[in-house]
């Protein structure tokens, strides 16, 4: 977290993405256990897809991992010291009431990137995500798909070692979904650890490296994606894949 640099491809090959470890984590709200106890370690290359029925605790798990919430009990740790550089993309992107490029410049300024580099980095990211034409358009008047791409571009300029995405495509049309999936692949190929929630089984089949399956606030299964879709172990996951209602 100390110095900001534009990562070269080589630096990723050398440094694998940091591992995330949950140890007996419990999250309670008003004495009601909403998540846990759960223990798991995210290693391997991912992308990790957190799946499960509504209310299973998927968003909660992401927010705990990203330190937006603190666990009531248990520990959340990262390999290689304290929190790595990380970013999160929300279901409904939260964009500032400024132009697209100003949104990226703001994120860079907050992260203490030298002033002279900000505009260049911002425009590079806009170009990468196909937003060059709307760089001076107010972020709030962009279409839903463009807004989500801008949120991804904002994450991109921060060169996160870990990227969390909370149902980033659930409010988008197919073309926009395709663009977001391509972006997720780019993050993955750049060596970022991607952790994402989705309801879309097909999307998980297309992108996932491993699946963390939750239901009722507990981790039921953490397996490579192929194994998960071929032969789910837990009864809940079998039912989920079969499209049944899961408690």
Partner 1 sequence: MENNAFYVALTLLLNLDASLFQIVALSLQVSLLAVLIAALLGFPLGAAVAIWRFPGRGGMIVVLNALMGLPPVVAGLMVYLLLSRAGPLGEWGLLFTPGAMILAQVVLVLPILAALSRQKVEELLGEYREQFVSLGMSKSRMMPTLLWDARFALLTVLLAGFGRASAEVGAVMMVGGNIDGVTRVMTTSIVLETGKGNLPLALGLGMVLLTLVMVINAGAYMVSELSRRRVG
Report the interface residues with partner 1, using CB under 8 A.
63, 66-68, 87-88, 90, 94, 96-98, 106-107, 110-111, 138-141, 158
Min dist. Cβ of residue 205 to partner 1 (A) = 28
Min dist. Cβ of residue 97 to partner 1 (A) = 5
**How many C-beta atoms surround the C-beta of residue 191 within 10 A?**
18
Min dist. Cβ of residue 142 to partner 1 (A) = 9
Quick check: 94 and 118 in contact, CB under 8 A? Answer: no
**Residue 89 or 179: which CB sits closer to partner 1?**
89
**Residue 7 or 37: which CB sits closer to partner 1?**
7
**Residue 103 or 215: which CB sits closer to partner 1?**
103
**Residue 111 or 238: which CB sits closer to partner 1?**
111
3-state secondary structure of 96: coil
- Beta-bridged to residue 244, according to DSSP, are none
**Residue 164 or 228: which CB sits closer to partner 1?**
164
| Surface-to-core class of residue 189, CB atoms within 10 Å of its CB (0-12 exposed, 13-18 middle, 19+ buried) | exposed
Min dist. Cβ of residue 215 to partner 1 (A) = 25
**Residue with structure tokens 């330190």?**
67
Min dist. Cβ of residue 34 to partner 1 (A) = 17
Phi-psi region of 44 (alpha: psi -120 to 50; beta: other; left: phi over 0): left
3-state secondary structure of 29: strand
């Amino acid at each position: 977290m100390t110095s900001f640099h534009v990562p070269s491809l080589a630096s990723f090959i050398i440094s694998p993405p940091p591992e995330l470890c949950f140890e007996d984590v419990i999250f309670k709200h008003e004495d009601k256990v909403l998540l846990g106890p759960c223990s798991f370690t995210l290693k391997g290359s991912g992308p990790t897809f957190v799946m499960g029925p509504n209310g299973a605790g998927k968003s909660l798990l992401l927010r705990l991992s990203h330190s937006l919430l603190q666990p009531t009990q248990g520990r959340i740790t990262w390999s290689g010291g304290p929190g790595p550089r990380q970013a999160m993309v929300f279901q409904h992107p939260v964009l500032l009431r400024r132009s697209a490029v100003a949104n990226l410049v703001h994120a860079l300024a907050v992260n203490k990137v030298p002033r002279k580099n900000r505009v260049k980095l911002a425009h590079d990211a806009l170009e990468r995500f196909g937003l060059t034409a709307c760089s001076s358009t107010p972020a709030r008047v962009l279409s839903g798909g463009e807004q989500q791409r801008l949120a991804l571009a904002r994450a991109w300029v921060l060169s996160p070692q870990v990227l969390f995405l909370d149902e980033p495509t659930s409010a988008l049309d197919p073309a926009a979904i395709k663009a977001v999936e391509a972006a997720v692949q780019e993050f993955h190929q750049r060596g970022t650890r991607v952790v994402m929630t989705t309801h879309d089984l097909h999307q998980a089949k297309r992108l996932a490296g491993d699946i963390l399956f939750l239901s009722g606030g507990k981790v039921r299964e953490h397996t490579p994606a192929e194994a998960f879709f071929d032969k789910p172990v837990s009864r809940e996951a079998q039912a989920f894949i079969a499209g049944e209602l899961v408690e």
